[in-house]
Amino acid sequence: MENRGDLPVTYLLKPGELTLKGGNKPEFERALRRNLEALLRSTGAKVIPAKGRYFVHSPEDAAGAVEEALSRLMGISGWARTRVCGKSPEEVLRACVETAGECYAAGIGTFKVEARRTDKSFPLDSYEIRSRGGSAILEAWPGLTVDVHNPQAVINVEIRDRAYVYGMERRGLRGLPVGTAGRGLLLLSGGIDSPVAGFMMLSRGMKVDAVYFHAYPYTSDEARRKVVRLAEILGRYALGVRLHTLGFTEVQLRIKERAPEPWSTVLLRMAMMECAEKLARKTGLKCLITGESLSQVASQTVENLSCTQSRVGLPVLRPLIGMDKEDIIRKSEAIGAYAVSILPYEDCCVIFSPPHPVLRGNPQEAGELYEKLDLTALIEEALRTRTVEKCAYP
C-alpha cells in the first residue's frame, strides 16, 4: 500500500482526543497532519495516515529531530519507534523478541503483549498473538516476567498492511491540533503564569497571538527580550507565535498621576484589557487569554476580576483560574518556560505597585475611576507603537 522509499526508521502515532469527534473529525485529522508535516519539514521524513494511526518514516540520521518534533505535537496521545515486518507469524514473533530484548536492556523487568489485528486474514488471532508472543519472549529472555495488570513495558503488535511491533511508547502532549479552535490573544508578561496559560489554550487547539505591554524605561529591554524568549517557547508548540509589543509607559504614568493609589493595579489591568481587546478586534482574534488564577494576588480576587473585565466584550479566558501555584510551576517546567520566567527582570516596576491594593473592588466604582483617567487617546497611541514579530523556536 505505502511507499516508504529508502526511509528505514518508522514511528507510529496515536491520535488523542480527536478520535472522539463526530462529523467534523476529518477537519481535526487534516490539521494534525498539516502540523505534523510542518514540524517535520526539514527532516526528510514522510507522513502516512492509516486507520486510527499516523506513520512517520524517517531517515536514520533524522531520528533525533523527528523525536524532538513529535514531543511538541499537540493532538497525539502517544507515539513509539516501531519495527515493521512481514505478516508471517515467524517474523512477528521474532520482532516481539527483539523489541522485548531492547526493553530488557533498558532495565525493564515485567511486560505484557498487546495485539490488534486490522487484517483479519493473519493466521493468528489477537489472543494467539498475545500468548505466543509472550511465550517466545519468556523463552528468549528468562530475566523477564509477565505482569498483565501493571507491566513496566507493553509489547504492542499491530497487524495492518504490514506488521508493526513496538515497546517503549512515549506519552504525547495530548490535547487537540493547534489551529482547530479559532484564534485568541494572550496577554503575555514575563512571569510564570501567562506562558502556561498560553500553552493550555494551544493544547485545546487554539492558535495564539501574544501581546506584551512594555513600559520602557521603567521596564528594561531585558524584560522585553525575556518575553520574546517566552513567546519563542510557546512557538515550539504552535509553529510560531506572533508577538505584538506595545509601548504602555504613558498609560502607566497617567494612572500613577490620576488614580487613587490602592486602585492602580486594577486600573492598569483594565487598561491592558481594553487595549488588548482593540488589538484583537483589529486582527480578527476572538478572545483574550490571561494567566490569572483566583486569589493568587490582590488583583485576582473574584471582585477585582470582574472590575478587570468589566469593559471588555470579548470572552476573557483564564485557563489557570482554579490551579494551584505549585502545579502551575510544574507545568511551566514541563513546557520549558520556567527557567526563563524566573530570570530576574521584573515585568512591572515597583513604583507602579501599590503597597495596599484594593482587595474587593466594585466594578461601578472602578468604571468611574477609569473614566476619569481619560485613557482613550493614550490607548490609541499605544496601539500605534505596536511592533510585531514572529517568534519561532530557534
* Selected binder of Mg ion within 16, 191, 198, 235 (CB under 5 A): 191
Q: Which three cell numbers stand for residue 266?
A: 486594577
Q: Which is nearer to ligand ATP, 159 or 298 (CB)?
A: 298
Where would I find the beta strands (DSSP E) of the chain?
9-15, 46-50, 53-58, 76-85, 110-117, 145-146, 153-159, 163-166, 170-171, 183-187, 207-214, 241-247, 288-289, 316-317, 387-391
| Residue with grid cell 514531543, as numbered in its chain | 71
How many Å separate Cα 179 from the centre of its chain? 12
Nearest C-alpha neighbor of 201 from the set 222, 219, 185: 185
Q: For residue 385, give the C-alpha cell.
A: 507603537
CB of 58 to ligand ATP, least distance (A): 37
CB of 196 to ligand ATP, least distance (A): 8
Of 187-195, 198-206, 262-270, 296-304, the segment contacting Mg ion by CB under 5 A is 187-195
Q: Which of 286, 292, 298 is nearest to 319 (CA)?
A: 292
Handedness of CA 256, 260, 262, 264 (dihedral sign): negative
Q: Which does 304 bind (CB under 5 to 8 A by kind): Mg ion, ligand ATP, none?
A: none
Among 189, 249, 290, 332, binds Mg ion (CB under 5 A): 189
Residue 293 near Mg ion by CB under 5 A? no
For the bound state, the minimum distance from the C-beta of residue 322 to ligand ATP, rounded and expressed in Å, comes to 14
* Residue 188 binding result from ligand ATP, Mg ion, none, given CB thresholds of 5 to 8 Å by partner type: ligand ATP
Q: Which stretch binds Mg ion (CB under 5 A): 62-70, 182-190, 293-301, 354-362?
A: 182-190
Cell digits of residue 94: 521474532
Identity of the residue, 141 or 345, whose beta carbon is nearer to Mg ion in the bound complex? 345
Residue that has been written with the C-alpha cell 490569572 in this structure: 292
Place of cell 505584538: 244
End-to-end CA distance of the chain: 37
Name which of 144 and 192 has its Cβ closer to ligand ATP: 192
Residues in contact with ligand ATP by the rule CB under 6 A: 187-189, 191-194, 211-213, 272, 290-292, 296-297, 299, 347
User: Total binding residues for Mg ion by CB under 5 A?
Assistant: 2
Residue 95 φ/ψ, nearest 5 degrees:
-65, -35
In angstroms, give the least distance from the CB of 280 to Mg ion: 20
Q: Which is nearer to Mg ion, 100 or 328 (CB)?
A: 328
Name which of 29 and 292 has its Cβ closer to ligand ATP: 292
**Segment lying near Mg ion (by CB under 5 A), choices 62-70, 174-182, 191-199, 238-246:** 191-199
- Per DSSP, the three-state class of 394 is coil
- Asked if residue 219 binds Mg ion (CB under 5 A), the reply is no
**Taken in order 164, 125, 118, 173, is the CA torsion positive or negative?**
negative
Span interacting with Mg ion, options 53-61, 183-191, 250-258, 308-316, rule CB under 5 A:
183-191
Least distance from C-beta 261 to ligand ATP, angstroms? 16
DSSP secondary-structure letter at 273? H
Instruction: List all residues 6 or more positions away from 133 whose beta carbon is below 8 Å from its beta carbon.
Output: 92, 93, 96, 113, 115, 155, 157
Least Å distance between CB 218 and ligand ATP? Answer: 11
Applying CB under 5 A, the residues found at the interface with Mg ion are 189, 191
